[in-house]
Structure 1
């Protein structure tokens, strides 16, 4: 971590280190590297944030401070009460009480009406809330894996007005999807087994046999092959364990201990000659050896390597490229191919890139309005080690 932090300090003026969960899980304190222990190792000050919308913010902030060991208490420079609704004047006494009780300055930040990408499965409620659109002309079903990951991959589809995005957990959720999406997973073997046991795997096979479109990303792509082999026991704990895949694509995926993590620019080219630049990232265990035959790759990377498969003129698509749907031009073209096939009107491009940037701008403007940025920046510059690249 120290090496990574030093690299970031050399490249950026300010660094924000985000914790995960509560920093006061007393039963995990000796193992918790995701919170104030990381701040201690980096020797940077910290800000404690409480969510007033959940209720109990006074108990949460004061209780957290009192449960922290003294060296971590001293690292907390100020508190933020987040997602406050209503008249801030009504919280003046509450702010004063918290400051007296904790000895730390308190900032109050309002509840914002914006939708931003969330982490992994936390995005699932947002997809379920905003995704289902009764009467929508296109229906896309996203298979829910118990070990799902990178559900933000599908969030750009929420911006398409004529598209309904549904989560498929069990056969009763199946409906009549135009496209079935197999997302990323933290455990390919376990999630393949899960959909096989529930019967969703058989429904996927029937969907493809009837001409339906199947799209797999990362772990979902691996599941679409002929076989999974856990060569080193990194996935299942059993060295050499093998499992038959759904057998839609001619490849075998072997799992080893080395993890692939990288940015991944490339080019998608259709048989018609149309091509689109693509950008995203790759993060997975497993190496996939593809025997494409006459089927083209999904994309050719900037380094010349081939990724994925675009089989049967797009009826079956598999790729390791996360955030593929964040590429606005390609996503619009792909969806319009579905619309043409179904005999419905094509649509103009929806710039999810702009929607995303607008959300960040709204958040940035609110931060400037409600938080004392000068004070926060001074906190970041407080100690000598942070002055090379302020961190918090």
Structure 2
């Protein structure tokens, strides 16, 4: 039976995901076979595994930190908000339908507990250590009866719990004391330590507060983690886009990503933002697009509603004007669908609207269907003419997650040709590039994670701006791996890992 440790928080966005990632890398460095686990995740940032299953992006980063290929057993239930208190429910990587919050919490969540239990049992057999991430707060009394992600999982595993508080937002001591007070005695006993996260300043000034907290709660403070900026690690949800916006650096190239209300898979652009000559701006409602070197329409969990958002907020007219005056535009997945003439939803799989007019930058229509396409893919580019780069390259990698199928109303040049889809060889066109080479759409998430292709695009943008191409290709995977090691080093120095190991060892067999 594997040892386990669970990270829960006093609220959402206190750092559970990133500290789970850190522990996965630390245990890997210590020679253990470790896996992450989160029973239920709510996020629009998702990923497709080699077997075609969809899972939360945070667990993908945690798997990478653990040295593993991501698998849906690490995140058996994923909720993808679609709007109006409704989410698409994904179980073991496959969509089972859309449900309201009430339908899910009152009727379905406990039905999924059997699947969750099977995953835990499998992970216990296959690994030495399970690092478990909770969600929100375990003290949300209105949700506890149907909870399948916090204390019920701690009891089921069984696992000791470390409770995380974000001191940067203020009220950390009160949030810890209040959370523990609202737990049942048996649940409170499962909490074996406290972590103070995102601390800035002189830790000696915090010491009286730590002593108070330990005396008040009877729980040891396991660590005080400093505030970490620019980690270079994939984020879980759009809350972190505020951090990205705040941390956006200056760059010779200005790339705008339109921050749609239902933006998904914004990690598609992290590799661009990590380039030394690039600034990525996420343009929010009311902010100006300006005159960027490239505009990107990202993925969306609700293409029709996000199209209407662009129209109603003036971004559609601005974008079309910029495109017609020569500003390059890229659409990925939902953004690609928006570039066409029309999006049709006859079965109302995404909204109550039968159809919505698109931007008309590509001569296509997209029709939504009930079944969801989820594949890892490999692709090639043959004289790829976006930005006139005339690029030919093989073994480009990415993944597809979409409901709609796009049809062309006239002959177009494909952006790429898919050569492998979920392990099956094929020769299938993907996306489109406009005749002038300035508009591109693709269903391939992660296309900019391909290092050589990314630099080709960026150097073409540099030449258009009168700048010399850089040519040097950065290694995205090596940068990620270095980021996991940096994170692990900081957390190891900031936590009492000997105490963490004792807590885990004492809990085995209980």
- Shorter-chain TM-score: what band? 0.7 to 0.9
Deviations 1:17-42 (A, max 9, x none): 22232221223333444433343444
Question: Which sits farther off after the overlay, 343-352 or 169-178?
Answer: 169-178
Relative to the length of structure 1, the TM-score reads 0.86
Question: Match for residue 286 of structure 1?
Answer: 404
Q: In angstroms, what is the RMSD of aligned CA positions?
A: 2.8
Q: Where does 1:52-71 land on structure 2 (aligned, <5 Å)?
A: 52-71=167-186
User: Counterparts of 1:237-386 in structure 2 under 5 Å?
Assistant: 238=352, 241-271=354-384, 272=390, 274-290=392-408, 293-302=411-420, 303-304=425-426, 305-312=428-435, 314-347=437-470, 348-380=472-504
Shift in alpha-carbon separation, 1:293–1:148, aligned structure 2, 3 A:
same
Match of 2:89 in 1: none
TM-score normalised over the length of structure 2: 0.68
Alignment of 1:1-392 (within 5 A): 1-116=116-231, 117-131=234-248, 133=250, 136-169=251-284, 173-236=288-351, 238=352, 241-271=354-384, 272=390, 274-290=392-408, 293-302=411-420, 303-304=425-426, 305-312=428-435, 314-347=437-470, 348-380=472-504
- Counterpart of 2:110 in structure 1 is none
Larger deviation, residues 337-346 vs 284-293: 284-293
Deviation per CA, 1:86-133: give whole Å up to 9, x if none.
Answer: 444444443333223223221122314442332231232233223363
Q: How big is the shift at 1:205?
A: 1.5
Instruction: Give the C-alpha shift of residue 383 in structure 1.
Output: 5.2
Q: Deviations over 1:238-258 (max 9, x none)?
A: 3x7222222222333333343
- Residues 278 and 41 of structure 1, relative CA distance in 2, 3 Å threshold: farther
After superposition, the C-alpha distances for 1:256-292 in whole angstroms (9 at most, x for unaligned) are 3433344333333434463153233333333334567
Pair 204,43 (structure 1): closer, same or farther in 2 beyond 3 Å: same
Question: Alpha-carbon deviation of 1:10?
Answer: 4.5
Higher strand share: 2
Going from structure 1 to structure 2, the CA distance change for 1:139 and 1:24 (only over 3 Å counts) comes to same
Show CA shifts across 1:188-217 (max 9, x none): 111100101112111222222223211011
Mark the CA change 1:333 to 1:5 in structure 2 (over 3 Å): closer, same or farther.
Answer: farther
Where structure 1 has 5 or more consecutive residues not aligned to the other structure, the ranges are: 387-392
After superposition, give the CA deviation of every residue in 1:155-205 in whole Å (9 maximum; x if it has no partner): 222233333322333576021122110012221111100101112111222
Q: Bigger shift: 360-369 or 273-282?
A: 273-282
Counterpart Cα distance in 2 of 1:163 and 1:368: 32
Secondary structure of the residue that 2:230 maps to in structure 1? coil
Work out the CA distance in 1 between the residues paired with 2:444 and 2:152.
33
How far the C-alpha of 1:294 sits from its partner, in A, is 4.1
Q: Deviations over 1:35-74 (max 9, x none)?
A: 3334344443322111122221111111101112334223
Distance in structure 2 (CA, Å) of the matches to 1:219 and 1:166: 19
**Inter-partner Cα distance in structure 2 for 1:154 and 1:55:** 31
Asked if the contact 1:140–1:179 (Cα under 8 Å) also holds between the matched residues in 2, the reply is yes
- The worse-fitting range, judged by mean Cα deviation, of 4-13 and 245-254 is 4-13
Change (3 A) 1:104 1:359: same
1:289 & 1:42 partners in 2: Cα distance? 48
Deviations 1:353-387 (A, max 9, x none): 3333222211111222232334434544555679x
Greater shift in the superposed pair: 174-183 or 65-74 = 65-74
Count of equivalent residues: 382
Contact 1:234 1:255 (C-alpha < 8 Å) held by counterparts = yes
Q: Which moved more, 1:59-68 or 1:301-310?
A: 301-310
